[in-house]
Chain A
Amino acid sequence: MVEMTGSKALMEALRREKVKVIFGMPGGANLPIYDDLYDSGIKHVSVKHEQVGAHMADGYARVSRGPGVCMATSGPGATNLVTGIATAYMDSSPVIAITGQVPKAMIGRDAFQETDVVGVMASITKHTIQPLSAAEVPSAIKSAFYIANSGRPGPVLVDIPKDVQVENAEMIFPEKLEIRGYTPFLPIDRVKVAQAAEILAKAERPVIWGGGGIRISDASEPFTAIAELLNAPVVTSLQGKGIFPENHPLCLGPMGMHGRAEANKLIGEADVILAAGVRFSDRTTGTADEFGKSAKIIHIDADPSEINKNKRVHLHLLGDAKEILGQIYKTLANSVKRKGPGSWIERINEVREEMKQISAYDTSRSDLTGPNIVRLMREILPLDSILTTGVGRHQMWCEVHYQVLKPRTWITSTGLGTMGFGLPAAVGAKFAKPDVPVIDFDGDGSFMMTETALAVAVEERVPIIAIILNDKSLGMVEQWQRIFYKRRYSGVKTTAGPDFVKLAEAYGADGRRVDSLEQFAKTLREGLGSDMPMLIDVPVDPEYDVFPFMAPGKSLKDTVHGPKEMGIF
């Protein structure tokens, strides 16, 4: 046992968790922490705005597998974290938020910069902890890291009153913790594994569907093995892109509101759906009643509360996806021979051929359209490049046209759909993997929400590339107003807007504008070889919409393939 302050104990606990970088902002209520951070040996990134810091920690966490840590002071510092923490919560990302709080005696008295952040964060975190004495700090940090990154991961808030930071106490740093209300994984039910294998072995038209849970549990290997053994096509959710190489002959791509047309069609013909690490989100499945109507559904998830939440399933298996899929594969491999291409694969190829004709996949244009830019970008980017996105049409064009080939190289906000996620997430990702290219593929609307992250990129010399599809509009909202609101464009148009090239230069980054695909390719290649952040402004036509499109409240079979079928041209 050693005596030290709560704040020093915090640094020691963070070192013990092997924290390498903290994305944060100092302020009145966390000054003691920042004083100890000064010579802690832990890298601190000054984030300019706490939301930016939370997204950076999130991007870092999704790439590195470990928790990402962000820090903020009390009050406005803490409330600025909210969007970032909610984003991490919806996408099950292990983010640790450490906030300073006003001294205990001031709590509840509307003190300067006091916010009840524990109350505010309760429904958007996996857990909240407020140590009320310095001696509680080591176990608070130990449990925060354990809870954030085990089972179904999620953000954890540790809110430390200022007097607790400066208080002295005899500290015990626990090596292990038992939390009786928390069992991240129960033992896997072997009977259910056998049942799942039997259903899959008998399936005539199986589809394997994977989501973010496969990335989180690093389960791509057994996932792929099952698909190949059964010769079964694979679909993913948007979060699941990359868990299975999208250039694999069995990959149909993502399904959903802007999924691949072949995925949206063929899922409806399956007799068995193996759904692993997914949560049956409305954006992925369409109306729950119609989804998988004629199929037996097997659901694998780490979180018991996901079972039967949006869709009643025939069989569910709880636990770690990697372990469960591994066991299912073993059981299957013992009983079935590798299946050859039968009538199901023939049907799949037939649908693929048919879908090649749809206007959403048309490749005859050679101008700066979203799909053209995305496809060209994929050709240029090295295999292991990490792509982050904002939220909107640019993100959906990536969903349809950007083939993700490796897990953890596709970082996007799907659950909360947070505009402004892309740029800070890219900076965070670059801290996790400094040796691979990191690109934020963004829209002008999303970019402007967190553009201060560019100041951080320049300050920290992280050479990320931000590509902005600039339609001077909130393009996705505009598309909906075009389709559902008779082209009454309400609140979507940017009539002035910044000159993004000058903006980049003002921040000290390399700003470029391109007006052809050739120029885009050349500039992107230059950016990949550069050691400073680059912004590429790409003017695009706001009237060019994203398809395929399943309208909200519809089912996957109602997917519309182009503007003509939608009746808007």
Chain B
Amino acid sequence: MTSVKIIAVLVENRPGVLFKVANMIRRRSFNIESITVGTVDHKDISRMTITLHADDAIVEQLVKQLSKLIDVIEANVFTPEEVIARELAIIQLSPDVKVTTDTKVTQELRIVESSSESLTVELLGGPDVIDEFLQKIGESNVLSVARTGITALPKRRN
């Protein structure tokens, strides 16, 4: 069954590792919806958060193949429900757009710049929150969008 999967990968922080991870995903013909990379508390380890649409069985195989890469320390797959996921979006809107209580889909929405040319907002939240905002504000009012792609940690459960 194809659905959104979030792959969390801890890797050695060195040149060429992103290529090896991406190359393995390419080999299985997946399109990466988003990928974020940053170091963790150890500067020599990076965390990659990869979002893609995939079939359960194939993604299980993919994660095993990622784990096999020597530079990959750990790889796991999660459903969106199993992680705490956040994404940052910077969105430029037409200058005459008003962000009202109806369109303010989250408290974490801030106007970062306002000019005669555009109104720029920053929006932090789960990917669905950003999607909801874009939908409510209407396509014709959006000048440009930059989304970071999600970064995520699995929820810890007892």
**A127 pairs with B27, CB closer than 8 A:** no
Partner among A118, A122, A128, A304 whose Cβ is within 8 Å of the Cβ of B68? A304
* Stretch with Cβ within 8 A of B (4 or more), from A177-185, A390-398, A457-465: A177-185
**A179 pairs with B65, CB closer than 8 A:** no
Inter-chain contacts of A181 with B (CB < 8 A)? 11-12, 69-74
Chain B CB within 8 A of A147 CB: yes
**B73 pairs with A308, CB closer than 8 A:** no
**A303 pairs with B16, CB closer than 8 A:** no
Chain A CB within 8 A of B146 CB: no
Count the A residues whose beta carbon is within 8 Å of the partner chain — how many?
A: 19
Known: A118-B16, A119-B19. A126 touches B70 (CB 8 A): yes
In this complex, which of B16, B70, B74 has the most chain A Cβ atoms within 10 angstroms of its Cβ?
A: B70
Partner among A122, A182, A305 whose Cβ is within 8 Å of the Cβ of B23? A122
Q: How large is the interface on B (under 10, 10 to 19, 20 to 34, 35 or more residues)?
A: 20 to 34
Bound-complex Cα distance A126 to B69 (A): 7
**B67 pairs with A122, CB closer than 8 A:** no
Bound-complex Cα distance A130 to B15 (A): 10
Known: A118-B16, A122-B19, A305-B64. A180 touches B57 (CB 8 A): no
Inter-chain contacts of B60 with A (CB < 8 A)? 308
Residue of A nearest to B17 (CB): A181
Inter-chain contacts of B27 with A (CB < 8 A)? 123
Residue of B nearest to A156 (CB): B70
Known: A118-B16, A308-B57. A127 touches B70 (CB 8 A): yes
**Number of A-B pairs, beta carbon distance below 8 Å:** 39
Q: Mark B1-45, 1 if CB is under 8 A from A, else 0.
A: 000000000011000100110011001000000000000000000
The smallest C-beta distance from B69 to any residue of chain A, in angstroms, reads: 7
Chain A CB within 8 A of B144 CB: no
Q: A121-164: which residues lie under 8 A (CB-CB) from chain B?
A: 122-123, 126-128, 130, 147
Inter-chain contacts of B24 with A (CB < 8 A)? 123
Chain B CB within 8 A of A20 CB: no
Known: A308-B57, A308-B60. A182 touches B65 (CB 8 A): no
Partner among A118, A123, A130, A147 whose Cβ is within 8 Å of the Cβ of B70? A147
Bound-complex Cα distance A119 to B12 (A): 17
**B23 pairs with A180, CB closer than 8 A:** no
In this complex, which of A122, A126, A130, A308 has the most chain B Cβ atoms within 10 angstroms of its Cβ?
A: A122
Inter-chain contacts of B68 with A (CB < 8 A)? 303-305
Bound-complex Cα distance A305 to B19 (A): 20
Known: A147-B70, A179-B70, A303-B68. A122 touches B61 (CB 8 A): no
Bound-complex Cα distance A309 to B72 (A): 20
Q: Which residues of A contact B (CB under 8 A)?
A: 118-119, 122-123, 126-128, 130, 147, 179-182, 303-305, 307-309
Q: Which residues of B contact A (CB under 8 A)?
A: 11-12, 16, 19-20, 23-24, 27, 57, 60-61, 64-65, 67-74
Query: 8 smallest A-B Cβ distances: which pairs?
Result: A305-B64, A181-B73, A127-B70, A305-B65, A182-B70, A304-B64, A181-B72, A122-B23
Task: Give 12 A-B pairs besides A305-B64, A305-B68 with Cβ atoms closer than 8 angstroms.
Answer: A122-B20, A123-B23, A123-B27, A126-B70, A130-B16, A181-B11, A181-B70, A181-B72, A181-B73, A182-B70, A303-B68, A305-B67
